[in-house]
Chain A
Amino acid sequence: MQEVQITVIDVCGTVKELVFPTRLGLSLMEALKSAGYPLEAVCGGMALCATCRVEWQEGAVSEPNEAELDMLDTLPDQQPASRLSCQIRLESLTDGQAILRLNPTKF
């Protein structure tokens, strides 16, 4: 797959469709930041801060790794659909598309 299409619902509810190339090997966190979303990503993608959290709505995606599960487990308001966008590689979106909601909590 050359591209993935991601529908982002931001904290105000605004919906945007974005298309990213997969060949750059970006994480979803990096892609969202490059699209101008204000993710803090304090730890730079090490699954240590949760400031890149998103709520997954639709789309096949790789399962969370141990580091991601550990971090999510410490949050006061983890949802079953919570994911750390820094731990998701764009090429792991096997449907080529996804819908996600940015998390309003400022961590």
Chain B
Amino acid sequence: MLETDVCIIGAGPVGLFAVFELGLLRLKAYVMDTLPVVGGQLAEIYPRKPIYDIPGYPSILAGDLIDRLMEQIAPFQPGFGLGQKVVGLEAVEGGRWKVQSENGEVVLAGAVVIAGGLGCFEPRKPDLPGLAALEGRGVTYMIRDPEVFRGRRVVLAGGGDSALDWTLQLSEIAGDLTLVHRNSSFRGAPESAARVQALADAGRLRLLTSTALVSLEANAAGNLSSVTVQTQGQPAWSLEADDLIPLYGLTPQLGPIADWGMVLEASAIQVQTDNFQTSVPGIFAIGDINTYPGKLKLILSGFHEAALMAHGAYRHIHGGAKPSFKYTTVTGVNGL
């Protein structure tokens, strides 16, 4: 079990900057995110778009802002639990909090900061009967280690860049590979699309365009055994498969945050604006996930909230003691 002063749920820009503000008050942070990378919406939705309303930067690419934040918080050596979806939050003795991820990682913290943005980024799923029952039994949405597919019969579905990239990677590894795409052509990176086409022409993989997933079949053990597909204007047929990997991108879903007992208002967590504490003492909420009169869902506002939250978290952890307020120009940035 990991122990830390503050556990931050969400590694978007606001969760990351919270590490800095907590660090200035000598509080150590551990940051968890369901995504395998930091950056939240900026990494997942718009990494290559310029942002124009970050003070001091007339224009900065979203991806670059995340790099700068990582550089800025590095002196405080935060811990990171990436690829960890937080599902449980409960009070334990000593006024501490136990934060638990779906994979069983447990963090013990004196205060918890929810910086969950619009919610957990979750895969978009195709609408197929029986899909849920086969998740983890042949159906996977994220490829962590491509080696697990070595020699297996894999069906990938999707037409975006990640579907093309993974098709190229898995063509070296899978025993039998099929890419299913609903449309007749690919709109993603033209070089990748051309390479996939070339591999298909060479018989190294099966490329099924204008083709829809129709249904899934399981064997007696309850594992995926085949995928039924239908190409436009042709009868449906079944393709034997060990794995189906739908790659249709990610989208945020509020998820478990709604079950943690804090007062919500239209899917956002109500907070008080002097310290951004929720209705539960010791749990704070900052960034897009919170709401209060006048709330603006801006990165700028989230940064402000992080500063006030850090002072609130300090008081909570130190039995009401007020942290001393100093400028960074006076103190510098002293790592933890």
Binding site for B on A (CB under 8 A): 40, 42-43, 46, 48-51, 69-70, 73-78, 105-107
Contact = CB atoms under 8 A, between A and B. Distances in A.
B322 interface: no
15 contacts: A42-B45, A42-B251, A48-B46, A49-B251, A73-B159, A73-B160, A74-B160, A74-B249, A75-B248, A76-B124, A76-B127, A78-B182, A78-B183, A105-B127, A107-B124
Contact of A76 (B41, B49, B126, B252): B126
A74 B46 contact: no
Contact of B126 (A42, A77, A106): A77
B158 interface: yes
B158 A74 contact: yes
Nearest to B251: A107
Secondary structure at the B interface, as helix, strand, loop or mixed, is loop
B253 A77 contact: no
B187 interface: yes
Question: What are the 10 A-B residue pairs with the smallest beta carbon separation, nearest first?
Answer: A76-B126, A76-B248, A74-B160, A107-B251, A73-B187, A74-B249, A70-B187, A73-B159, A48-B45, A77-B127
Contacts of A105: 127
Contacts of B183: 73, 78
Chain B interface category by residue count: 20 to 34
A42 B46 contact: no
Interface of B: 41, 45-46, 49, 118, 124-127, 157-160, 182-183, 187, 246, 248-249, 251-253
A103 to B, nearest CB: 12
A107 B187 CA distance: 21
A77 B213 CA distance: 10
A107 B248 CA distance: 11
Given A42-B252, A69-B187, A107-B124, A74 B49 contact: no
B45 A76 contact: no
Given A42-B118, A73-B160, A51 B251 contact: yes
B127 A43 contact: no
Contact of B45 (A43, A78, A106): A43
A46 B182 CA distance: 23
